[in-house]
């Protein structure tokens, strides 16, 4: 039954992911690919929508994936699945954490987990960038084809939006919400109007 599959899949993701929603993205991607629920492009669209809607990205992504896969009940099952492990763990950990927070072993564990979280976030960024920058219909990349006709593989409009967004945020300190709105406007202009 698809609802139980969504529930248990997202419980597994919620149980074994540390570092927040962005660190969950590679785990969600693996599960989506192995179950054939969505394409990479659909998943990247769901991540974009999850970032724009209020609430944690992990919960939003689970809800959208579940809804896209199995409707309203699927969305509820995936949302419950991703939230239950966090709820149970935080209740258990909060009971003992303050008694042991200054213990040296606790500090060492967190030092060990931090690089893994950074790696998971970078993996998610690479996945999203690859899906956004490379054309979905592109054939298998060959060096000669990349040199002779890069437009068949690389989506230069997406690179322009990426570059403009980086400049807006880093140089001009534009608020991320404004950057998202401007990027959406640039996407409409580049891909539908021009």
* Whether the predicted pLDDT of 102 surpasses 70: yes
- How does residue 144 score in pLDDT terms, banded at 50, 70 and 90? low
The pTM score is: 0.68
**What is the predicted pLDDT for the residue at 80?**
97
Share of the chain above pLDDT 70, in %: 93
- For residue 128, the surrounding DSSP H or E stretch is helix 104-133
DSSP 154: B
Give the whole-angstrom CA distance, residue 83 versus residue 105. Answer: 27
Q: What is the mean pLDDT of residues 150-177?
A: 89
Q: Using CA atoms, how far apart are residues 190 and 155, in angstroms rounded to an integer?
A: 11
What integer pLDDT is reported at residue 140 of this predicted model?
56
The mean pLDDT value of the chain amounts to: 86
Task: Decide if pLDDT at 133 tops 70.
Answer: yes
**Beta-carbon-side half-sphere exposure of residue 24 (alpha carbons within 13 Å):** 26
Q: How far is CA 47 from CA 7, 60, 73, 148, in A?
A: 19, 8, 20, 33
Name which of 56, 84, 83, 79 is nearest 69 in CA terms.
79
Instruction: Say whether 134 sits in a helix, a strand or coil.
Output: strand
Task: Report the percent of the chain where pLDDT is more than 90.
Answer: 40
Q: What is the pLDDT of residues 18-70, one digit of tens each?
A: 777 788 888 898 999 899 999 888 998 898 888 888 888 889 999 999 999 99
- pLDDT value of residue 180: 87
């Amino acid at each position: 039954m698809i609802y139980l599959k969504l529930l248990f899949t997202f419980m597994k993701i919620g149980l074994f992911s540390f570092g927040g929603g962005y660190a969950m993205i590679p785990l969600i991607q693996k599960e989506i690919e192995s179950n054939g629920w969505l394409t990479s492009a659909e998943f990247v669209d769901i991540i974009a929508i999850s970032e724009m809607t209020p609430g944690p990205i992990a919960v939003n992504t689970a809800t959208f994936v579940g809804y896209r896969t199995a409707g309203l009940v699927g969305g509820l099952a995936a949302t419950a699945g991703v939230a239950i492990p966090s709820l149970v763990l935080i209740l258990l950990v909060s009971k003992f954490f303050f008694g042991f927070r200054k213990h040296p072993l606790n500090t060492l564990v967190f030092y060990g987990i931090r690089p893994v979280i950074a790696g998971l976030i970078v993996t998610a960024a690479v996945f999203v960038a690859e899906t956004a920058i490379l054309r979905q219909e592109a054939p298998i990349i060959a060096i000669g084809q990349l040199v002779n006709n890069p437009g068949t593989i690389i989506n230069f409009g997406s690179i322009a939006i990426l570059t403009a967004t980086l400049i807006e945020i880093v140089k001009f300190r534009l608020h991320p919400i404004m950057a998202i709105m401007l990027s959406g406007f640039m996407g409409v202009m580049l891909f539908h109007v021009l």
